[in-house]
């Protein structure tokens, strides 16, 4: 009987979880499973958020997410960035409350002010009607200036991590004041140009891509990416404007101290 009692106690001390719908509806994953089983935040997770080594390495949020996602259609680094963000917002809202205090800058006056974002008011973005990936999970886009037809994919967590790591390494190695993050993002996304899928060709073309093509492609990619709309209409000192919400360490714990 003592073993049964111990097992019962162990079950009672397991952290509760919920099944979270993914904005992508699983269209990009094997089996098209559109949900993920995610565990609620616990006191133990605060050890991760306050770990100096993890914070310094920039891996703190990745470690937290991998710990909390219990069942997912794909490995964490293969999740679309938008699906990852949806899970992050759910964790923050259920763990520390849906009200997220931020500092914003009024675009007219330049005055910085405090504001509270209701995370529950952020809207989910799904693929626009009539837009769908092909069998490779890629989309088509016609570059407006060069008239070249490209095929591209949406960024995964792993892609995003690789872009940031690559850009950081370049800046440290060259001591450059210029970040190559934008160019590396294009290289991670664009898979084909006018039927040519050679990686070297694509990278060389991206280096001379007209600025208008780069801008319009990024706007289109962002517009169709499933996820959470990270913009909010706020009331500033001089009027209403659209603000962009960022997800950093303080997103999970505004009062974090290391």
pLDDT of 225 strictly over 70 = yes
Task: Of 48-57, 82-91, 115-124, give the lowest mean pLDDT range.
Answer: 48-57
The answer to whether residue 257 sits within a structural domain is no
Kind of pairing between the strands at 227-228 and 112-118: unpaired
Checking 164-168 for CB contacts under 8 A at 24+ apart, the result is 164/58
- Pick the closest to residue 224 from 189, 251, 195, 192 (CA basis): 189
The answer to whether residue 4 sits within a structural domain is no
Q: How confident is the model at residue 194 (pLDDT cuts 50, 70, 90)?
A: very high
Residues spanned by the domain of 43: 14-126+227-252
Residues 188 and 218 in one domain: yes
Looking at per-residue pLDDT, the higher value among 254 and 56 belongs to 56
Contact 153, 189 (CB under 8 A): yes
Task: Report the pLDDT averaged over residues 144-162.
Answer: 96
Question: Alpha-carbon torsion 253, 73, 120, 58, what sign?
Answer: positive
Return the residue matching tokens 């111990």. Answer: 6
Contact 5, 209 (CB under 8 A): no
The answer to whether residue 132 sits within a structural domain is no
pLDDT of 173 strictly over 50 = yes
Please, how many CA atoms are within 13 Å of residue 53, restricted to the half-sphere of its CB? Answer: 2
């Amino acid at each position: 009987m003592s073993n049964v009692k111990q097992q019962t106690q162990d079950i009672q001390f397991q952290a509760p979880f919920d099944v979270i719908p993914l904005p992508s509806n699983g269209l990009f994953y094997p089996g098209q499973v559109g949900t993920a089983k995610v565990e609620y935040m616990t006191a133990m997770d605060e050890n991760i958020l306050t770990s100096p080594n993890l914070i310094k390495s920039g891996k703190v949020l990745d470690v937290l997410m991998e710990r909390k996602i219990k069942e997912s259609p794909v490995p964490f680094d293969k999740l679309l960035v938008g699906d990852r963000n949806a899970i992050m917002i759910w964790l923050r809202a259920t763990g520390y409350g849906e009200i997220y205090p931020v500092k914003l800058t009024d675009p007219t006056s330049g005055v910085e002010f405090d504001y509270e974002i209701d995370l529950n008011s952020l809207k989910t973005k799904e693929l626009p009607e009539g837009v769908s990936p092909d069998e490779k999970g890629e989309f088509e886009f016609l570059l407006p200036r060069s008239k070249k037809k490209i095929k591209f994919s949406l960024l995964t967590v792993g892609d995003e991590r690789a872009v940031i790591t690559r850009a950081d390494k370049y800046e440290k190695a060259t001591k450059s004041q210029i970040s190559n993050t934008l160019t590396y993002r294009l290289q991670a996304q664009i898979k084909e140009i006018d039927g040519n899928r050679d990686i070297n060709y694509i990278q060389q073309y991206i280096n001379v891509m007209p600025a208008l093509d780069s801008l319009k492609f990024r706007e289109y990619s962002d517009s169709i990416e499933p996820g959470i709309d990270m913009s909010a209409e706020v009331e500033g000192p001089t009027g209403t404007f659209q603000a962009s919400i960022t997800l950093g360490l303080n997103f999970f714990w505004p009062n974090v101290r290391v």
